[in-house]
Every structure is written in structure tokens, then in C-alpha cells.
Amino acid sequence: MNISILTGGGDCPGLNAVIRAVVRRARISYNWDVIGIRNGWKGLIEGEVEPLTMYAVSGILHRGGTILGTSRKNPTKSDDDIEQVRDNIRRYDIHAILAVGGNDTLSSALFFHKKGVPIVGVPKTIDNDILGTDFTFGFNTAVSIVTEAIDRLHTTAESHHRIMVVEVMGRHSGWIAVMSGIAGGADMILIPEVPFDIKKVCDKLMKRHERKKFSIVVVAEGAKPVGEDKHFTQDDKVDEFGNIRLGGIGQVVADQIEDITGIETRTTMLGHVQRGGVPSAYDRVLATRFGVAAVDAVNNKDFGKMVALRSENIITIPLEEAVLANKEVDMELYEMAEIFFG
Ligand code: F6P
């Protein structure tokens, strides 16, 4: 039996831990061969595959990124690409596909599952915005990186009596902003789920300034002001999948805060620093559990499913449920964070 694995979408710490776990579970427990598909769905269209031996995955547990490479290619957009995927599944004698990715990658997995391809999904994203799983791996690492950045910004903000705006990732959901904001003691957190009123934000910051002469504002890249339905973007560039490229709302917010409050305000955009580097211990363990469970799902012929963390257990849920929508920030958590605003 040959199973294959691909990693699609934005990279994320823990992907290599999944790949290693899949190969070891498949080889040791089932004596199956594992085929690595390069660069996400693109590799399956173009026939870029390689055998993944135990030797190939040795020593990669702690490494960030993905040894397989990734892309944001949507394989379902053209009939030619769909046909190529089918041809390559036959050509390389692939009996099952493990698709590791976020909402875009998992939607494509569902598409091919409906066409009869045996597929199991593994949820991955630093954004933690996939429905049906308590957490995705990569999120814990990203939150630690942002928290450390907020800690560093605190000391310089305090010394210079400035407002520091930190822009973090989070296209549809503000999980990274909320969790790192709580952990880092942010004085304001702006997220996509809750449109912000800049005047109210400034009122809170000015009130705080009577007491404390500095503030930290965390802004998720997908945050929008009240009444605006489009994301702020610096240009109209889109990624390969068709998602508009975000980034820059932090600077807009900082400029408005400085204008309204008269307090010097600086911006830090953390960008891809949040996605790079070694995974945390938590993410290594979660990724390993997902990898092992995904191979077991293939053994159980549990196709069209995604492995997921529910309480302390790893379960499988229908891919349909996972890709229905983006998992939004728990409003109870956000309301709790608000206690510390201003
Ligand atoms: O992985 C999801 C994500 O982190 C989003 O929050 C962000 O908009 C996007 O990736 C950026 O990805 P890229 O590296 O393709 O610009």
C-alpha cells in the first residue's frame, strides 16, 4: 500500500513533525510506503513526488517549515488540473492522500473526496481558525512569538511614553491577537470579528494615559473599522489561491491614533516571523498525534474526514464540517480580554 502526504497553504511550525509521524506510523505499524508530494496540490498536478523513507524524515521533528515545500495552488479550478491530479494518482499508484493544510487545502481535499479519491485531512494553520478542532498546531508557537514581541515592545513603549501598535496575522479570525494580547497584557486588541470604532479606541487610550504613559495595541491583519466591509490592503495583489494579500492595517490604526490622541504612536508588523522557526513542545506533540491519527484513519478507511483535537482526545470529523466556515474567536474570551483594555 502507498499512502501520500502533501502540505498546502501557508507554512507553519509543526508540519515536519506531522510528516515524520506519518512516515513512522505507516512504515513501522503498517509496513506501508509513503510518497511525499512536493509543494502542495501543485506537486500532484505536476507529478512532483518523492519517496519518504524513515531516513528522509529523521531529524526533522524540531525543524520549522515543511521539507515537502508548499504552495497555495487551487487544484480544483481547471478541468486540466483535476485530470492531472487523477492521472498522477494512478501513475504513482497512490492509494490514499493525507492533505495537511488550512481551509483552502482542506476544501480541495473535500472536492477530490467527493470525486472518489480516498483522502484524510490534517488541520494546520497558525491562525487557529479551523472549525471542529480545539487547536491547530502552529498556533501555540505563533502565540509565544507574538507574546515575546509584546513583552519587548512593553519596555521600549514605557521608556519613551509611546503607544505601540503590533500587527499580527489573522485574516478571518483574531485568535493570535486575542491569546497573545491576553498573555502580553495588551491595552487594546482589535480583531476581524469585532469591527472597531477608532474614536472609542482613542478615548480608552487617552483615559489610560492619565494613569500610565504608554500603551500596547494589538491589531489582527483582518481587523476592520465599523461600517467597512473590505479588508485594508496596500495593493490589490492576491495569492495563488485568490486570497487578497493583507497587511498594513496596523500602520493605518497607528496614524489615526497619533492624529486623534496627539501621543506618539509607532507600528511593528510581525509578519512571517510569526510563522517561521522551531515549533513549541505543545505543537510538536499535537502535530505528532495528528500524523499518527491520520495514518490510523487511512487504516480504518475513515476517508473524507479530518483529524481533530476535542478536549484531550484526537477524533475524526467530516471534512464538510471543518470547511463550513472559519472558526471565530470565542466571544467570552474576547469579553474577558476587554476587562484589561485601557
Ligand atoms: O497561514 C494563514 C496566514 O497566516 C494568514 O493569517 C495570512 O493572511 C496569510 O497566512 C499570509 O500568507 P502568505 O505567506 O501567503 O502571504
Chain length of the chain: 342
Strands of the chain, DSSP E: 2-7, 33-37, 49-51, 96-101, 119-123, 163-168, 188-190, 215-220, 265-269, 305-310, 313-318
Out of 66, 104, 127, 175, give the residue to mutate to test ligand 1, the one with the largest number of ligand atoms within 8 Å of its CB.
127
Instruction: Give the model's pLDDT for residue 137.
Output: 98
For ligand 1, the distance from its centroid to the CA atom of residue 6, given in whole angstroms, is 18
- Give the CATH number of the domain where residue 190 resides: 3.40.50.460
Phi, psi of 138 (to 5 degrees): 100, -30
Which is catalytic among the residues 11, 104, 127, 296? 127
Q: Is the CB of 15 under 6 A from ligand 1?
A: no
Q: Is there a domain that residue 53 lies in? A: yes
Atom number of ligand 1 nearest to Cα 246: 8
Report the nearest-CA residue for atom 8 of ligand 1.
171
Question: Does the beta carbon of 169 lie inside 6 Å of ligand 1?
Answer: yes
State the cell numbers at 226: 465599523
CB distance 99 to 85 below 8 Å: no
64 with 108, same domain? yes
User: What pLDDT score does 234 carry?
Assistant: 86
Q: Is the pTM of this model over 0.95?
A: yes
127 is an active site residue: yes
Is residue 19 a contact partner of residue 11, using CB atoms and an 8 Å limit? no
Q: For the chain, what percentages of helix, strand and coil (3-state, to nearest 5) are there?
A: 40, 20, 40
Q: Is residue 335 part of a domain?
A: no
Place of cell 466571544: 331
Regarding the beta carbon of 296 and ligand 1, being less than 6 Å apart is answered no
Specify the number of domains making up the chain: 2
Residue-level pLDDT at 236: 84
pLDDT value for 75: 97
Same structural domain, 161 and 230? yes
Ligand 1 contact, 123 CB (< 6 A): no
Q: Cell numbers for 37, please give them.
A: 508530494
Query: Which residue owns the Cα nearest ligand 1 atom 10?
Result: 10
- If asked whether residues 47 and 160 sit together in one domain, one would say no
Ligand 1 site, residue 43, Cβ cutoff 6 A = no
What is the full per-residue pLDDT of the chain (342 aa) written as tens digits? 999 999 999 999 999 999 999 999 999 999 999 999 999 999 999 999 999 999 999 999 999 999 999 999 999 999 999 999 999 999 999 999 999 999 999 999 999 999 999 999 999 999 999 999 999 999 999 999 999 999 999 999 999 999 999 999 999 999 999 999 999 999 999 999 999 999 999 999 999 999 999 999 999 999 999 999 888 888 889 988 888 999 999 999 999 999 999 999 999 999 999 999 999 999 999 999 999 999 999 999 999 999 999 999 999 999 999 999 999 999 999 999 999 999
Q: Is residue 341 part of a domain?
A: no
**Residue 241 structural domain:** 142-276
pLDDT for residue 194: 97
